[in-house]
Structure 1
Amino acid sequence: MSLSSLTIEPALIDRYGRRIDYLRLSVTDRCDLRCTYCLPKGFKDFEEPKHWLNFDEIERVVAAFVRLGVRRVRLTGGEPLLRQGLSDLAARLSSLPGMKDLSLSTNATQLVRHARALKQAGVSRLNVSLDSLQSDRFAAIAGRDVLGDVLAGLAAAQAEGFSPIKLNMVVQPGVNDDEVESMVRFSLKQGFILRLIETMPVGETGRQSGFLDLQQVLRKLAQKFDLTPSALELGGGPARYWQNRDGDFTLGAITPISQHFCATCNRVRLSVDGTLYLCLGQEDKLALRPLLRSGISDKELEQAIRNAISLKPERHEFREQPSKVVRFMSATGG
């Protein structure tokens, strides 16, 4: 085989040698819940719709990322199902040449109405936020008692064949940390992957929610449910996984504070207004919307993305400077 016949796949490599192949795409900063660690009660300072990237602009940016070697895209928010026409956008993105994995993060309150259309549009996997199985506690955390809607949404997703379905539980001390074992049993019974997440100090709400080191929690769960570390790679994200002896339950942990994963970070985030955030815990960013609306060419867009990736910081500073990031999580994208 001659060298000229070899196909060299494009790649985004940052200055620390990390390959960036995962884009988390926020389609809205609005949400129908007010989870205590994400948005404060009464918050109304959302981005104006005229500043949102429209679907043509989103498709153009994602296509540029895919040409540069990104293979995984996750639709996020806010609550992405609040963006009108989301399944149409998903269909456009899933059909891009080179796209291998289109997934969605959701609180599932709207999922009953959208599950079928999303599956038909090419969304293959779901991450569902679920912090409690107790209605009163769910309402205290999320601001509304819609646990029944979430559970119905999960059932609808299973009926449509989404797999895997991951439950994301943000574990907060004195709030829901006593419910972890119940969530494990629920996930085992229903066939869900459970992922436990440490609260991150993003915005004032994140800092006020309190931090629980998950390492001790994980040791107890491993012993109680006979879990052993697994080399599973599920979705390209930062979770570490364990499985039980029978292989019918998988537990994941996302531990940005107690055991950060910055050395292997493979992702960037695009907010609803077209801001490319290079690190969840830093302020490094690039505003793409002005470039898109000034008539930038595709080649210039690709070069702008490459230039931004070259500035991706080595790591967050959640421990050293917990008050550094003032934007709320919903503004960045999940």
Structure 2
Amino acid sequence: VEALTGFNGPWVYALFYLTFVGIHLAGVGEALKVMMVISGLAVLAIIATAVALIANFDAANLFDVAVTNAAGANEFLPLGWYGVWAALPFAMWLFLAVEGVPLAAEEAKNPAKDVPKGIIGAMLFLLFTALLVVVLVPAAGGANAMGASAVPLVDALNATGNTNLATVVNILGLAGLVASFFSIIYGYSRLVFALSRAGYLPRSLSITTERKVPARALIVPAIFGFIASLSGEGDLMLAMAVVGATVSYALMALSHIMLRIKQPNLARPYKTPGGVVTSGIALVLSLIALTGVYAFDPRAFLYTVVLFVIGAAYYFGYSAKHLVAKSADEEFAMLADAEADLAASN
């Protein structure tokens, strides 16, 4: 918004929160339709930028960053292996929140088929668009210049003489940021709703409106998000989000391995290709990416650990005694007892 209009500050953040939380409060159907439109505009911006920059592709621009004295540094890796390590949080951000797709399971017609198709399709498309941005933008505008840019797509177009398209892409690129913001609002609301309904968070957060929208699960986290935005620490919050994401990825991978071992006969409408080998690789990569946050900004790592400690204290001090849903182990134990009783009666 600042690059486009010159305006920035708390009132811009407040306007965005009010607008898009308001759309989500209107209903999930309305919200997802809007999400599709703004996501389409964001994709259009990336494709238009890629088409315009192909003619200005210069491989030499990819290597115009001065080589440092870091370990492993060379023309290809000017900041050495440390640079790769510290860049991992930003690489993660290209795909962050795609794990929000399964949160729509309760609102999908056929979750067993629709959710895997959705998340696999999303990952493949994100990989394609990520390559376009990471390769074409610095190859046209210069890696060193783009590394210092707050709006790299726009600056790359301006640097190559595509000023009119740069203005259009700036507007469409804003839609891309909105698409990310919009989808994260959807994801956190469903996550808070599920945790509240199960008793892990205060039960009042799972109250829904007549339109079946978890209003408090939308509004309360938005208030926290707005307050955090007032700090102006965008990079810090990005890195903290990556810490949370990588921890969750690691735990999901570990849970998948444990379920395959402990519950080999569990009904599985969708099976992960490669099984525990795939999730084992994911577990290792998640932990490596987690350490990359520390390399980039130790504050992000430490602040997120503090939040985890607060959450753990709340869980063990209060919510563990007020759970509505049983834990997975308790559910499996009940199932095993029921099966044993059935076998004994026969």
The structure carrying a bigger strand percent of its residues is: 1
Q: Which protein has the larger Cα radius of gyration, Structure 1 or Structure 2?
A: 2
TM-score (norm 2): 0.26
The structure carrying a bigger helix percent of its residues is: 2
TM-score (norm 1): 0.26
